[in-house]
């Protein structure tokens, strides 16, 4: 996927997931640094109906395979540092 | 949820998701710092069959409501720092 194209497409995701991949809503997951194949799978499953969510089942309908690859590249590419739990 | 009890229960999650919430597998998402109500919803949906995954649909069967709350408290409580995308 092309992260730069994904960033442009992520304008449609940012109200819930943030352009930085940090959730704006209790029901929306953070996407920053998320595993790339997991993101591709999630979006593909929302698009084909295997996975259902009121918002995402609709939002994913408009995504091409390239859009999905690009969005996954963009959000997975955001660097996160984890503070190891004590 | 009780994060300390969640950490103990997370021993059963760590092979795929890490005890630090960082994925060990391409199909498994990071859980570190994930939104707590999202995690509760995900586990509840895997348990009740609304959401399906070969591994999680089985793993979630053994979880009580308290287990789910505790795991969500544990993983959501792991601090993450996001490096803002350029």
Nearest CA in chain A to B19: A85
Nearest CA in chain B to A51: B51
In angstroms, rounded to a whole number, what is the distance separating the alpha carbons of residues A1 and B14? 28
Q: Count of A–B CB contacts within 8 Å?
A: 91
> What six digits make up the tokens of A15?
């109200």
> What six digits make up the tokens of A59?
């939002």
Task: Count the Cβ atoms, other than its own, within 10 Å of residue B66.
Answer: 13
Q: State which H helix or E strand residue B80 sits in.
A: strand B80-82
> Which candidate, B25, B12, B19, places its Cα nearest to that of B59?
B12
pLDDT at B84 over 90: no
Q: For B21-77, how does the pLDDT look when each residue is reduced to its tens digit (9 = 90+)? A: 999 999 999 999 999 999 999 999 999 999 999 999 999 999 999 999 999 999 999
Question: What interface predicted TM-score (ipTM) does this complex get?
Answer: 0.94
Residues contacting A81, CB < 8 A, separation 6+? B80, B81, B83
In angstroms, rounded to a whole number, what is the distance separating the alpha carbons of residues B41 and B51? 10
Judge: A32–B80 Cβ closer than 8 Å, yes or no: yes
The domains of chain B, with CATH numbers, are 3-76 (1.10.760.10)
Nearest CA in chain B to A86: B78
pLDDT of residue B38: 98
Residues 38-77 of B with CB under 8 A from A: 38, 41, 50-52, 74, 77
Q: For A28-64, how does the pLDDT look when each residue is reduced to its tens digit (9 = 90+)? A: 999 999 999 999 999 999 999 999 999 999 999 999 9
């Amino acid at each position: 996927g092309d992260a730069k194209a994904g960033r442009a497409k992520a304008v449609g995701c940012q109200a819930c997931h943030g352009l930085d991949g940090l959730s704006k809503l209790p029901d929306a997951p953070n996407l920053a640094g998320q595993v790339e194949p997991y993101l591709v799978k999630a979006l593909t499953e929302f698009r084909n109906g295997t996975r259902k969510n009121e918002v995402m089942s609709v939002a994913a309908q408009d995504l091409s395979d390239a859009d999905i690859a690009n969005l996954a590249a963009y959000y997975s590419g955001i660097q996160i540092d984890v503070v190891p739990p004590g």
